[in-house]
Amino acid sequence: MNNSNTNSRRSFLKKGALAAIGVGVLNSLTANELYAGTVNGNLEMPPVDGAFELPKLDYAYGALEPFIDAKTMEIHHSKHHQTYVTKLNEAIEKAPELKGKSLMELVANINAAPESVRTAIRNHGGGHFNHSFFWKLMSPDAKNTTASAELTAAINAKWTSMDNFKVEFAKSATGVFGSGWAWLIKDKENNLSLTTTANQDSPIMDIAAMRGKPILGIDVWEHAYYLKHQNKRADYVADFWNVLDWNQVSKWFMEL
């Protein structure tokens, strides 16, 4: 049997043990279930000619002004994200058995990566996945978008109202200590939860403390906001709602 199945089982057993001692674990999705079937093609991102590529943005660097400034977008995309892509490709060069795997498959199976490149796949594969996801969540036309009826119902079921959800999400995002991400994730039954990850870890990773499929997330590394908002992360999170494309979140809620 291949390693990924063995690791999925181990991961499952570990999660079961954690749940038994009261640590909140969303569900027991196996690595394969996370990316099988109906996953959005854009996020599968198979390597192009053997190497991953920096995805193009659907909008100009200045298109999210005044909420996210053009310089931040340019550096974030063309430098930070590019570096994750470059270093992910370097890691895969050192572990040819990983060649040809989709980004989702790599990131969902950190434990299956050879030990020599595991940290690099975690940091740079995670970075490539998280940023590719993040760019698609934002749009200059965001103000014309609203959550679908299905997504609104799921949010209301958990947080009573959209306003209350936004308060809780913002708390989660401002509460991340140091660099990381805040996420809205869903389980197999479409139940929603908030979670955070450190560095470039992602909720889809088999090593995530709370695993699920992200449908919304915010990068709270200082590089995402420092030029405009300096130390005021809460202001950045407040501005984020103005560029968040609820059509995309609603789409992922149904499709992922």
Q: Can you give the binding site for Mn ion, defined by CB under 5 A? A: 219, 221
Choose between 107 and 151: whose C-beta lies nearer to Mn ion: 107
- Cα angle 82, 85, 87 (rounded to 5 degrees) comes to 110
Give min distance, CB of 218 to Mn ion, in A: 10
Measured from each CB, the residue nearest to Mn ion is 219
Give min distance, CB of 187 to Mn ion, in A: 26
Give min distance, CB of 184 to Mn ion, in A: 18
Give min distance, CB of 221 to Mn ion, in A: 5
Choose between 128 and 186: whose C-beta lies nearer to Mn ion: 128
Choose between 57 and 95: whose C-beta lies nearer to Mn ion: 57
Give min distance, CB of 131 to Mn ion, in A: 6
Choose between 78 and 144: whose C-beta lies nearer to Mn ion: 78
Choose between 47 and 217: whose C-beta lies nearer to Mn ion: 217
Please name the residue ranges forming H helices in 49-114. 70-75, 82-94, 103-108
Evaluate whether 189 touches 162 at the Cβ level (below 8 Å).
Answer: no
Choose between 206 and 219: whose C-beta lies nearer to Mn ion: 219
- Find all residues with CB under 8 Å of 17, minimum gap 6, and list them: none
Please classify residue 19 by burial: count the beta carbons closer than 10 Å to its beta carbon, then call 0-12 exposed, 13-18 middle and 19+ buried: middle
Evaluate whether 220 touches 182 at the Cβ level (below 8 Å).
Answer: yes
Give min distance, CB of 59 to Mn ion, in A: 17
Sign of the CA dihedral 210, 107, 113, 8?
positive
- Find all residues with CB under 8 Å of 123, minimum gap 6, and list them: 84, 87, 199, 200
Residue recorded with tokens 């660099």: 179
